[in-house]
Structure 1
């Protein structure tokens, strides 16, 4: 059951289908924090469990397909959903299962095609890349790859703004309605390109000199889903997500011995 219409007194409903980050900076944990910070009710389908801290991912374990399917049907069948965000799906079987489930929803879908962690650890099996391209991307309202994920999915190596256009065109060829190419790994200002192949929206923000950026991609995609659940159109939702994520990066804090997370509660901390 989709529940695409808001109800008085109830926050918008957003579902994340992703992996758990035991360190709390990314994955399901980052998604739910972001959804709460942006005034929505976050729900979760856990597809994988990681052993993860500020130094990296020490291991991960996929949940059975049956467990993922049961979680999704349990939530959507009873509570409903107004936007869905996908993250780490780990294997071809899980990607295809989630795609099958999403094919029945009318709610907007944000696909964060998680392939590699912030520390460079692989989070997607090699044989799952084709499944992401063929099964998941055609269902996406918006796909939000970083530059490593662009290269993994399309082969395009982004070196500047001109090649971001090439990357977006390559992503859109797989069927999503919009592509948000994240240029955070490029030098200079933090610039992203949102396009549906006809309209271009360049999202720019000053680069924040803070190394504690774990969870940035999950946060942006979840913020985008939350804004779509509130009824914003895709360009407005992307701008809102960019603004929230930029603040979270600026407020990122040290944790453990490695890379700390962005601060999902930065707006609350400012009050």
Structure 2
């Protein structure tokens, strides 16, 4: 389901068109009456009213594994959210989710002024994977929290390029793994390895960001 259409390339996002709530609700109900699914992955969201509409749909459909990638800033540094939208996400959507996958900048935006563990605790979600790909260190460390406590660390060598779609690749791969029956920590481990291989083999299709090569790695 498409929540928002973008006009963009590897250098910038030029414009956004938000899917209206009525169409979104209609599409969800058509899928729900036709197909079985146990997992939902949420990415870019367009407005506070859309967040509320999605939260209502998901709250009415119990026993779903919901993975939310809170896309607040684009890879080319455009702001894709607002303070109001973040507050609505935190109160309406996060409590319904199984897992959030913010990068460190997004975590700081969602919980400004707090250290990492306190920020995680403030988001009211059982599992949170904090990614740190923008670190200046030679190695990067992703941290998985469960019930606000550090559960596991994942360490990788830092890659040199800027990527378009790395976070989406990761959260989608985690969701696919959970949908197939894996526990959250196993899903995160598999998806991080898959995503890293996609980035190692990324292709530069435009003038700026590289695109993950999702066919270069063994499927989840």
Q: Does the alignment reach a TM-score above 0.5? A: yes
- Report the number of matched residues: 215
The answer to whether the aligner puts 1:176 opposite 2:92 as a matched pair is no
- Could you list the structure 1 runs, at least 4 aligned residues long, displaced by more than 4 angstroms after superposition: none
Deviation at 1:168, TM superposition (A): 4.0
Gaps of 5+ in 1: 1-44, 158-165
Which of 89, 96, 111 is the aligned partner of 1:154? 111
CA contact (8 A) 1:212 1:254 kept: no
Deviation at 1:212, TM superposition (A): 4.5
Give the secondary structure class of the aligned counterpart of 2:3.
strand
TM-score, structure 2 as length reference:
0.92
CA contact (8 A) 2:145 2:152 kept: yes
Q: Which residue of 2 aligns with 1:266?
A: 216
Residues in 2 aligned to 1:125 and 1:73: alpha-carbon distance in whole angstroms: 28
Residues in 2 aligned to 1:199 and 1:113: alpha-carbon distance in whole angstroms: 20
Q: Which residue of 2 aligns with 1:101?
A: 57
Gaps of 5+ in 2: none
Residues in 2 aligned to 1:171 and 1:100: alpha-carbon distance in whole angstroms: 24
* 1:205-236 Cα deviation digits (max 9, x unpaired): 12223x15110111111111000001000110
Of structures 1 and 2, the one with the larger relative CO (CA 8 A, separation 6+) is 1
Q: Which residue of 1 aligns with 2:18?
A: 62
Residues in 2 aligned to 1:89 and 1:120: alpha-carbon distance in whole angstroms: 16
Q: Which residue of 1 aligns with 2:168?
A: 218
Give the root-mean-square deviation of aligned CA atoms.
Answer: 1.5
Deviation at 1:200, TM superposition (A): 1.4
Deviation at 1:128, TM superposition (A): 0.8
Q: Which residue of 2 aligns with 1:77?
A: 33
Residues in 2 aligned to 1:66 and 1:171: alpha-carbon distance in whole angstroms: 33
Give the secondary structure class of the aligned counterpart of 1:266.
coil
TM-score, structure 1 as length reference:
0.75
Which of 130, 134, 154 is the aligned partner of 2:91? 134
The answer to whether the aligner puts 1:114 opposite 2:64 as a matched pair is no
Give the secondary structure class of the aligned counterpart of 2:64.
coil
